[in-house]
Amino acid sequence: MAQRKFSDLTVAAQINKSDVFALEQADGTKQALFEKICAAILTPEIVEQTEEFPTISPDDTIPVIAGKINKWQQDALKKIEESKQSNMIQEFPAVEFDPENPEDETTKQLHDEIISALLAYTMNEKILKVVSDHGVLAADYAIQKREQMASYGYFGAEWNIDDLMTLVKAGSWDKFAIGDYFIETNTAGEKILFEVTGKNSYLHCGDTELTAPHIVVSPRDCLQTYYKYNSSNTNAGGYAASLMPANLETEAKKFTTKLQGYMTTIRRLENNKGTWAWASRRIFLPGNPELVGFHGFADMWDGGAFNQLPLFVGGNAHLLKGAGFNKSKAARMWYWTADPSAANTTYFCGFNTYGASGAYDASYDGGVAPLIVLS
- Chain centre to alpha carbon of residue 210: 22
> Does pLDDT of 113 surpass 80?
no
Band of pLDDT at residue 42, cut at 50, 70 and 90: very low
Q: How far apart are CA 343 and CA 301, in angstroms?
A: 13
> Does pLDDT of 265 surpass 50?
yes
> Does pLDDT of 298 surpass 80?
yes
pLDDT tens readout for residues 56-99: 776 766 666 666 766 766 676 666 556 555 545 555 566 676 66
Band of pLDDT at residue 150, cut at 50, 70 and 90: confident
Q: What is the pLDDT of residue 76?
A: 65
Q: What is the pLDDT of residue 247?
A: 97
Closest CA to 89 of 117, 121, 53: 117
- Segment 212-236 shows an average pLDDT of 96
Instruction: Name, of 5-9, 98-102, 104-108, 231-235, the range with top average pLDDT.
Output: 231-235
**3-class DSSP assignment, residue 74:** helix
Q: How far apart are CA 251 and CA 254, in angstroms?
A: 5
> Does pLDDT of 47 surpass 80?
no
- Segment 206-231 shows an average pLDDT of 95
Q: What is the pLDDT of residue 18?
A: 73
> Does pLDDT of 1 surpass 50?
no
Task: Provide CB contacts within 8 A for 65, sequence distance 6+.
Answer: 56, 138, 141, 142
Q: What is the pLDDT of residue 179?
A: 93
Q: What is the pLDDT of residue 255?
A: 98
pLDDT tens readout for residues 316-374: 888 999 988 876 556 789 999 999 999 999 999 999 988 888 999 999 999 999 999 99
Q: What is the pLDDT of residue 91?
A: 57
Q: What is the pLDDT of residue 123?
A: 61
Max intra-chain CA distance, the chain: 108
- Count other C-beta atoms under 10 Å from residue 170's C-beta: 10
Q: 3 vs 192, which has greater pLDDT? A: 192
- Segment 136-160 shows an average pLDDT of 81
Phi-psi region of 274 (alpha: psi -120 to 50; beta: other; left: phi over 0): left
Q: What is the pLDDT of residue 45?
A: 36
Q: Are 107 and 3 in contact (CB under 8 A)?
A: no
